[in-house]
Amino acid sequence: MKNIWLAIETATEACSVAVADGQDLWQDMVIAPNRHSDLLLPMIDALLAHAGLQLGQIEALACGVGPGGFTAVRLGISTLQGLAIATDRPLYPVSSLQALAASTPGQRVLAAFDARKGEVYAAAFRPDDAGVPELLDAERVCRPEDLAWPPTAEPWRGLGTGWTPYAQHWSEVRCWRGDAYPQALQVLQLARLRAAAGDPGIPPEALEPHYIRPSQAEEGK
């Protein structure tokens, strides 16, 4: 059983780090668009020091892999890969949309990030028997007017930065928060559940970003 964890989430404007030692949890989060590269490593060092832990004590690492900003996601991936190689520890990739949904356990969540270019990254989640967000259909990127949420008699809760500019397209959902961000704490919690269920994690070289759509460089090709 892995007890000492380090997790990060960088896919959106929020840069966050979480550490766990058994049942003790520590977290830090800053809303800092375009500053993740300056903040992430100092935040990791500071949180480990606050928890009284050293990097070599970490038993497993977890990373939000997107979708989200290409540069921000890539930063998180490369940082965790480097730490996993240095510590020879397994990695657990976690969807950033699922991490956002996990911030309101037990609820049906319509998660949407602003993807720029007039589009959103979006997915619908419902809680499984243990209250863990379960993906319905698939995560996708599209124009907000092209997004059809699953019909249900149960109420949905909207979360994410996509709701502030585009909520008018989803008028059937009246309860939403546009200032909600995926955070490392939920990334850590989801990864720990998978580890407890027997998931061994992946080696560092297998960690990949979950962009959904091609980057500008790929589109140029």
pLDDT tens figures, 60-112? 999 999 999 999 999 999 999 999 999 999 999 999 999 999 999 999 999 99
Of 3.30.420.40, 3.30.110.70, 3.40.50.880, 3.20.20.140, which CATH number belongs to 104-177? 3.30.420.40
- DSSP bridge pairs for 60: 5
Question: What is the per-residue pLDDT for 215?
Answer: 55
Residues of the chain with CATH 3.30.420.40: 4-96+182-220, 104-177
Q: Assess whether pLDDT exceeds 80 at residue 219.
A: no
CATH 3.90.470.20 fits 4-96+182-220, yes or no: no
Choose among 3, 20, 48, 30: nearest CA to 185. 20
Instruction: Judge if the upstream peptide bond of residue 133 is cis by omega within 30 degrees of 0.
Output: no
Q: Is 196 exposed, middle or buried (0-12, 13-18, 19+ CB in 10 A)?
A: exposed
8 Å CB contact between 192 and 38: no
Upper half-sphere CA count for residue 43 (Cβ side, 13 Å): 27
Tell whether the model's pLDDT for residue 191 goes beyond 60. yes
> How confident is the model over 13-62, as pLDDT tens digits?
999 999 999 999 999 999 999 999 999 999 999 999 999 999 999 999 99
